[in-house]
Amino acid sequence: MRRVGIVAKPDAARAPEVVTRLVDWLTERGFEVTLEKETAGIVPAVRANAANKAELPGLSDLLIVLGGDGTLLSMARAVGDLGVPIMGVNLGGLGFLTATTLDEMLPSLEAALEGRMVVEERLMLVARVVRKGAAMCEHMGLNDIVITKSAMSRIISLAVSVEGHFATAYRADGLIISTATGSTAYSLSAGGPIVAPTVDAIVLTPICSHTLTNRPIVLPASHRVEVTIQSDQEIMLTVDGQVGVGLRERDVVEIVKAASHTRLIRFPQKDFFTVLRTKLKWGER
């Protein structure tokens, strides 16, 4: 690893200080550093290359994300199938994906550059919107694909098929289709199960279902899920809570396993259960 890309949440209070420290540390050791353009804008005195978010993964052997989970999710989609490993450093908030603390940042980085960190392969999903038989758009997500009614809409009706076979119908406020990584995000708050993040699985979690027998279900990631919209009202598809697409009645949302995985770097000592206990106080209350 000789090329390191850095992207920071620009409105994080400590971002300028941390970016400056990182660039100094890396350049002193002979690494080529490239900052995401918005990140470069918050440290005008720092001398480093700059690139836009889409270009940054192609110029990097390692990406360091400073901020929260939202910043990391955005970069995971930008990396796509390039396979560039990502180290997330938490600058505040819950930080399930950006689990490395500021105190751990430089020791973690040193270990990563020396190959002493664990690289976890995380499943990504692809959502394709099909309207009247034609694909309208396609988006990749690390956490979840969510279909929800708008603020003023009534309950929506959705029909779900798995591997071409009808599975169930939902009358609910919406449906969350998440990866194991996303099982501790929106899906968890809607009553979904916690799934170990390296498991290749798809979790279907209804949002406020009006049928008591509708419960979350875990499927193999190899299965194709199709959700058909059966309500004529305002409905939205969101990917990782960051990309939005309006849906119409009879639209079909196809969800499949992405060809690529997101590669996240973590300390060997900081396993999934350590993060659960730290972030959720799991087993303590």
Let me know if residue 285 belongs to a domain. Answer: no
Please answer whether residues 49 and 4 qualify as being in contact, where contact means their C-beta atoms are separated by less than 8 angstroms: no
Say yes or no: 128 and 255 in one domain. Answer: yes
The residues annotated with a catalytic role in the active site are: 69
Say yes or no: 78 and 133 in one domain. Answer: no
Domain of 128, in residue numbers: 124-259
Enter the pTM of the model.
0.92
**Amino acid found at 47:** R
pLDDT of residue 116: 86
Let me know if residue 42 belongs to a domain. Answer: yes
Say yes or no: 128 and 249 in one domain. Answer: yes
Q: How far apart are CA 210 and CA 208, in angstroms?
A: 6
Let me know if residue 219 belongs to a domain. Answer: yes
Per-residue pLDDT of 135-165, as tens digits, reads 999 999 999 999 999 877 789 999 999 999 9
**Over 90: is that where the pLDDT of 267 sits?**
no
Domain count, the chain: 2
The CATH number assigned to the domain holding 246 equals 2.60.200.30
Say yes or no: 148 and 273 in one domain. Answer: no
- DSSP per-residue string spanning 152-204: T---EEEEEEETTEEEEEEEESEEEEEESGGGGTHHHHTTPPP--TTS-EEEE
Say yes or no: 153 and 220 in one domain. Answer: yes
Residue 271 confidence class, pLDDT cut points 50, 70, 90: confident
Angle at 56 between CA 111 and CA 36, to 5 degrees: 90
Say yes or no: 131 and 207 in one domain. Answer: yes
**Over 70: is that where the pLDDT of 118 sits?**
yes
The CATH number assigned to the domain holding 25 equals 3.40.50.10330
Say yes or no: 83 and 41 in one domain. Answer: yes
Let me know if residue 21 belongs to a domain. Answer: yes
Say yes or no: 179 and 90 in one domain. Answer: no
Per-residue pLDDT of 59-97, as tens digits, reads 999 999 999 899 999 999 999 889 999 999 998 766 788
Please answer whether residues 148 and 234 qualify as being in contact, where contact means their C-beta atoms are separated by less than 8 angstroms: no
Let me know if residue 157 belongs to a domain. Answer: yes
Say yes or no: 143 and 231 in one domain. Answer: yes
Say yes or no: 103 and 66 in one domain. Answer: yes
pLDDT of residue 285: 62
